[in-house]
Amino acid sequence: MTARRAEEAHDIVLRLLDHQIVGPSGTLLGNVDDLEVIAEGPDWFVTGLMVGPAALSQRLPGLLGQWVQAVWRRLHTAEDPRPVVIPIVHVTRIDSAVHVNRAAAEALSVTFGLETWLREYVVSRLPGALGGKGTDQSNGLDPATRRVGTRHDPPPVPARSPREGARGVSTFIGRWVLSADGVRAGRVSELRCMGAPHDERQEPMRVVLVLYTPHLAGSELGYSVDREQGPALVRRLVRVWQRHDRMVGVEHVRGLDAVLGDLRLSRSARPRHPHDL
């Protein structure tokens, strides 16, 4: 029989986004630049890790994101380059890093050449961008010998393009949440998901709660709803700063199916502080 554990909760911005991807032997394979989210009926699921400058450009604001995307498209050999997605089922463990199986590691190695060059010489020079020369993502390969995928040499399964209708989790973060009466209550800073590890794979994670806050600065600096995070003094300061943060069940949030625009709470929504859940 296969081992199936109970569902685990993951705050995906805090625990997954921008974290390093690690292979079975401990090799650094890249960063989680975005996360694939898709609707199935009334539910939303996190179904994959988006990797590379094409994914990161979706998160950068305005002309900056468009510029990174344009550089990526100009340098890439594929006719229609899209973000590389590693299906979530190839994730074996989530801790301070995101661990993937050997098949995913081999698929990611195909994209190392161009991905690493862009991260070192383009993305790392952008204000606030992550990655660069301090991040070894070469998998032990000499830069001159790293393979770059082409239209004739696609990455092997399990790497793929985003599924039809899929969105990046970045399209949810930062959107305004309005009360049922149309009053601004805060901006989305986190999505809490539930998912059950099955043997050595992570099943798609269902979005269950939406966190919104009037102050995005705390979450952007890495402080979150985790009541045990940081030294005691920092925790107290963060709790005061985030005292107006609220979480609400995803079923009470209207407008998630739209790519842009404000979200609105239903009349029956009962938002609570994250520590009270």
Hey, CA dihedral for 32, 173, 88, 91, is it positive or negative? positive
Residues 213 and 269 in one domain: yes
150, part of any domain? no
Q: Which domain holds residue 75?
A: 8-145
Residues 12 and 126 in one domain: yes
Domain count, the chain: 2
Here the tokens at position 189 are 């800073």
User: Where is the domain boundary, 92, 110, 145?
Assistant: 145
Report percent pLDDT > 90 for the chain. 45
Residues 195 and 111 in one domain: no
Strand 91-94 with 84-87, pairing: unpaired
Closest residue by Cα to residue 215 from 186, 176, 183, 246: 186
Alpha helices in 86-231 (DSSP H): 102-109, 112-121, 216-220
Residues 131 and 185 in one domain: no
256, part of any domain? yes
pLDDT, tens digit, 9 for 90 and up, residues 215-272: 776 555 555 555 566 677 766 776 777 788 999 999 999 999 998 899 999 999 999 9
User: Where is the domain boundary, 145, 178, 207?
Assistant: 145
137, part of any domain? yes
Closest residue by Cα to residue 204 from 57, 86, 51, 28: 86
Highest mean pLDDT among 54-58, 63-67, 115-119: 54-58
151, part of any domain? no
Q: Is 105 helix (H, G, I), strand (E, B) or coil?
A: helix
pLDDT, tens digit, 9 for 90 and up, residues 162-201: 898 999 999 999 999 999 999 999 999 999 999 988 777 8
Write down the mean pLDDT value for the chain. Answer: 79
> Looking at residue 35, which CATH number applies to its domain?
2.30.30.240
Residues 175 and 130 in one domain: no
Residues 95 and 208 in one domain: no
The pLDDT confidence band at residue 58, using thresholds 50, 70 and 90, is: confident
214, part of any domain? yes
157, part of any domain? no
218, part of any domain? yes
Between 62-75 and 112-121, two packed helices, what is the crossing angle to 10 degrees? 140
Burial classification of residue 227, based on how many CB atoms lie within 10 Å of its CB (0-12 exposed, 13-18 middle, 19 or more buried):
exposed
Distance set, CA 6 to CA 35, 37, 263, 267 (Å): 23, 22, 31, 32
DSSP 185-210: EEEEEEEEEEE-EETTEEPPEEEEEE
